[in-house]
Amino acid sequence: MASEAEQFDGNPVSPKNLLEPLPFYKRLREADPVYWSDAVHAWFVTRYDDVLNCFRDPRLSANRMAFYQAQLGPLEQIGPGLIDNLMWSLTHQMSMRDGSEHIRMRRQTSVGFSPQALDAWRPAIRQTAEQLVERVKQQGRMDVVKAVSTQLPPIVIAEFLGIPREDRDKFLEWSHPIADFNAPAAGTDVVALAREGNKAIGELTQYLKGLIEERRHNPGHDALSQMVQAQEAGRMTLNELVSNTSLILFAGHTTTTDQISNGLYALLTHPEELQKLQSDLGLVKSAVEEMLRFSPAVPFMHRIAAETFELRGKTIKKGDVVFMGLAAANRDPQAFPDPDRFDISRDHLHNKHMAFTFGPHHCIGAGLARRELEITFEVLLTLLPGLRLDEEQAPQLKCHSLMFRGFESLPVRW
């Protein structure tokens, strides 16, 4: 009989660990909280306090350009220019900067994300959610991913940035190959993904340049118009404006899409908690925070060691890749009592989960995502009494990468 050590699958991206990662996280937290993976050639940090400190640590850099160049460099040999648009976009994004450069760019792109400004969007978000649900209400069943979660976030972020309604289908067409390229499934044709992703990024970039020029002459009340004003005042270059607008568009809907389906699945598979929320929608804020903790859309975030240092007795060398386990930290019993229990009445003011990361790079759109999630669940439970999983159709997980986790389909009925 094989021993426990022999049975342990230490590959973070094995099909088994991607499909059911919680035992893997638990094993690492308890036995090897700073774990080197030969399979990924990177470190994995899984305890809450360590993850928190990693996000605070200036020795871990968000500038991952060298990492991407090393990963994608061979593609340039296959086809010159194959990843030019991607590398250009990454070069100018705030997500790749540290220190004062990151602070400067973040300050200019965060216009419109204040709590007061976001609260003004609640009626529009609710109207969109209600329209989407009303379309399918009489059918008695739907795939939540197709009908709601892939629809609402891109509509909201497009309106937030003032993208014309007639252009939103193009935006969706661009976002899918970009997402596939950023988190390719094991065994996929990376060259084909690069070609499609690079093409989409190039087309999106040209579109945004035209839209920005239009905003210079016809400014509106949207967030993009405010960012254009910041760029004109010299606080941001045009390249930075274009790349960070692209980042907000992409990041502003992909993770929220996954979080809607993740949260709903958690709710529907815990009937007592579902009933609790149906009986008291005033619990929706704490319910959303618990969904974010229990089943985050982004399981890992990575950084690059800017210098050599020690972490729990392990030597992290300059240039090493370090993956911080957001989902693993969210299940750490040292940080959350009874962490594997889904409890929507958990104190949301003290639910310090890592779903939006921590520190200087804390998700700029966290406030918008929270409002979208709260309103979506209020609308679903109000308009669809009897909402439950469709026993005739099994959900299909999307779990082929370390970076994104959600559902390909989530059939429900009422």
User: Which pLDDT value is given to residue 387?
Assistant: 98
Structure-model confidence comparison of residues 282 and 71, the more confident one: 282
The stretch 1-13 carries a mean pLDDT of 71
Residue 374 clears pLDDT 80, i.e. is over it: yes
Residue 161 clears pLDDT 70, i.e. is over it: yes
The stretch 71-76 carries a mean pLDDT of 66
User: Which pLDDT value is given to residue 168?
Assistant: 84
In this structure, whether the domain defined by 4-413 belongs to CATH 2.60.120.1360 is answered with: no
pTM of the model: 0.93
| Apex 261 CA angle, 344 and 156, nearest 5 | 100
Residue 78 clears pLDDT 50, i.e. is over it: yes
User: Which pLDDT value is given to residue 91?
Assistant: 87
Q: What is the DSSP letter of 184?
A: P
Question: Model confidence at 76, in pLDDT bands (50, 70, 90)?
Answer: low
Whether residue 299 contacts residue 403, with contact meaning beta carbons closer than 8 Å, is answered with yes
Question: Model confidence at 6, in pLDDT bands (50, 70, 90)?
Answer: low
Alpha carbons 162 and 220: distance in angstroms, whole number: 8
Alpha carbons 113 and 111: distance in angstroms, whole number: 6
User: Which pLDDT value is given to residue 186?
Assistant: 62
User: Which pLDDT value is given to residue 25?
Assistant: 98
Element (H, E) at 246: helix 238-268
CA distances, 16 to each of 11, 12, 95 (Å): 9, 9, 30
- In DSSP notation, 102-159 reads HHHHHHHHTTT-SHHHHHTTHHHHHHHHHHHHHHHGGGSEEEHIIIIITTHHHHHHHH
Residue 289 clears pLDDT 90, i.e. is over it: yes
Mean pLDDT of the chain: 92
Question: Model confidence at 83, in pLDDT bands (50, 70, 90)?
Answer: confident
* Share above pLDDT 70 across residues of the chain, in percent, rounded to a whole number: 95
Nearest in space to 328 (alpha carbons), one of 119, 52, 75, 82: 52
Give the best-scoring range by mean pLDDT among 77-86, 152-161, 387-396. 387-396
Where residue 319 falls (left for φ over 0; alpha for ψ -120 to 50; beta otherwise) is: left
Alpha carbons 328 and 301: distance in angstroms, whole number: 11
Residue 81 clears pLDDT 80, i.e. is over it: no
Q: Which amino acid makes up residue 218? A: N
User: Which pLDDT value is given to residue 79?
Assistant: 66
Alpha carbons 354 and 323: distance in angstroms, whole number: 13
Structure-model confidence comparison of residues 350 and 162, the more confident one: 162
Q: Distance of alpha carbon 346 from its chain centroid, rounded?
A: 23
pLDDT tens readout for residues 21-64: 999 999 999 999 999 999 999 999 999 999 999 999 999 999 98
Residue 16 clears pLDDT 50, i.e. is over it: yes
pLDDT tens readout for residues 301-341: 999 999 999 999 999 999 999 999 999 999 999 999 999 99
The stretch 267-282 carries a mean pLDDT of 98
Structure-model confidence comparison of residues 3 and 41, the more confident one: 41
The stretch 140-165 carries a mean pLDDT of 94
Question: Model confidence at 111, in pLDDT bands (50, 70, 90)?
Answer: confident
Residue 4 clears pLDDT 70, i.e. is over it: no
User: Which pLDDT value is given to residue 1?
Assistant: 42
Beta pairing class for 42-45 and 34-37: antiparallel
User: Which pLDDT value is given to residue 292?
Assistant: 98
The phi, psi pair for 364, rounded to 5°, reads -65, -25
Say how many CA atoms lie within 13 Å of 411 toward its Cβ: 9
Structure-model confidence comparison of residues 226 and 195, the more confident one: 226
